[in-house]
Amino acid sequence: MNLPKVGSSSSSKGSGAINIFWIVLFGVFVVVGGVLIGQLAPSMMPVAGSTQAVQVDQLFQVMLVIGGIIFLLVEGLLVLTVILWRQRKGDESDGPPIHGHRTLELVWTIVPAITVLMLTLYAYTVWNNTRAVMPNEQQVGALGQRFAWTFTYDAGLDDLPPSVDVSTLPDAEMQAKLTGGERVEFQSPQLHTWVGQQVNVLMHTDDVNHAFWIPGMRIKQDLLAGLVTNIRFNPIVPGVYRIVCAELCGGGHGDMAGKVTDNGDLVGAWLIVHANEEDYLNEFYYPEIMSILYPPTDPVELGREVIQDYPCSGCHTLHDLGWTGVTGPALDGIGARTQRVAATGSADMADYIHNSIRNPSAYVVPGYNNVMLQFNPNEGQPNYMPDSDLEAIVAYLLTQTQ
């Protein structure tokens, strides 16, 4: 490299000290420094919980090394220039007029171009690998709604717990469905899977756009109104990972994420990665199936169970279930809010709660906005809630008097 000799005054001795040794030393400093900066990458990221996370983190580390090298090169040259080629006392001269330097210009065009091209190819490969289809994927539905996530699982005859005798099911309709080879669905606010199982999340929204984000898995995918989008991940570390909405979707957007209550319970959207398939079946899948095959006969108990399949938690506070939403009035004490009966001309409290779920716009609680979802009685309608679920939910909410 030819360093232009700056100034003509005899005092510009400093530049004489620049020789190949110092240039090599500076180069070593820049490269070693960049690699060291890259070592910070793991400390900037949460646990890498999936094969996708491992690849994304490697890409991030490579980019951090390159970024570190560029940073030290540019800032290092800046500092060195200020020190070595500063204006000396009594030097009033201008710098030399330099016009063009073809080699230098080629170098600073070609080197960044190749670097960016390589990074593009590398990033594209990671993108492709992390979305690859795998055999025997677990398909889970994810519904994003203001302001909660609902995950849908299904089960056929082959998936039932071995102890279940289908001929004894209390619900004849469900019995016919299962023996006819159809699958039955159930919902959970949590996404469950196990180590080594590739998951394909098929997501849709009933209202505005949301974004499904699990930082621990390094996956994020938008939900686009009117479309079904999907994202895949392959968990490798058992544990509990927070699910977050990453698209500002309204006033309760912040409630569209997993929360931990004061006593350590998980509420809202969490990913639970069980250690193995057996744990997944015994701790989650089978108990959930049993609760739809043999629902509690006590309506209050049933209501307490089924209300958790609906996205109420994102908008309402209810201590019995650990909910903390603030978009609507707290459901704590709803059973005792008898002043609503007169205000709305309802027959009684049960009638009032019934109407506030079937037709929330008919009466808007003072101080709140008319944003509550309307839960409809017919399959195929948006926010479907069968009458049987509604009656149970009303029975349960009537018991919430404090």
Q: Of these partners, Cu ion, ligand HEC, none, which one is at the site of residue 373 (CB under 5 to 8 Å by kind)?
A: ligand HEC
**Which of 270, 261, 252 is CA-nearest to residue 145?**
252
Sheet strands side by side (includes 184-188): 184-188, 148-155, 138-145, 199-205, 229-233
- For position 328 contacting ligand HEC by CB under 6 A, the verdict is yes
- Binding characters for ligand HEC, 95-134, by CB under 6 A (x = yes): ----------------------------------------
Q: What is the dihedral of CA 190, 195, 197, 202, to 10 degrees?
A: 30
Smallest gap from residue 360 Cβ to ligand HEC (A): 4
Determine the Cα–Cα distance for residues 155 and 285; give it in Å rounded to an integer: 9
Judged by CB, which is closer to Cu ion: 256, or 267?
256
Smallest gap from residue 138 Cβ to ligand HEC (A): 27
Q: Of these partners, Cu ion, ligand HEC, none, which one is at the site of residue 249 (CB under 5 to 8 Å by kind)?
A: Cu ion
Q: Which residue has the tokens 């030290």?
A: 72
Smallest gap from residue 223 Cβ to Cu ion (A): 8
- For position 249 contacting Cu ion by CB under 5 A, the verdict is yes
- For position 375 contacting ligand HEC by CB under 6 A, the verdict is yes
Options 123, 365, 376, 386; binder of ligand HEC; rule CB under 6 A: 365
CA-based angle 57:59:64, to the nearest 5?
90
- For position 353 contacting ligand HEC by CB under 6 A, the verdict is yes
Judged by CB, which is closer to ligand HEC: 202, or 365?
365
Distance (Å) of CA 54 to CA 58, 234, 374: 6, 11, 42
How many of the other CB atoms lie within 10 Å of CB of 96? 10
Judged by CB, which is closer to ligand HEC: 55, or 313?
313
Q: Which residue has the tokens 């490299």?
A: 1
Binding to ligand HEC, residues 289-318 (CB under 6 A) = 307, 310-312, 314-316
Smallest gap from residue 220 Cβ to Cu ion (A): 12
Smallest gap from residue 142 Cβ to ligand HEC (A): 16
Torsion over CA: 203, 207, 209, 210 (sign): negative
Q: Of these partners, Cu ion, ligand HEC, none, which one is at the site of residue 364 (CB under 5 to 8 Å by kind)?
A: ligand HEC
Distance (Å) of CA 82 to CA 12, 18, 154, 168, 216: 13, 14, 68, 86, 44
Determine the Cα–Cα distance for residues 140 and 186; give it in Å rounded to an integer: 11
Smallest gap from residue 244 Cβ to ligand HEC (A): 18
> What is the binding site for ligand HEC (CB under 6 A)?
146-147, 307, 310-312, 314-316, 327-329, 334, 337, 340, 353, 356-357, 360, 363-365, 368-373, 375, 393
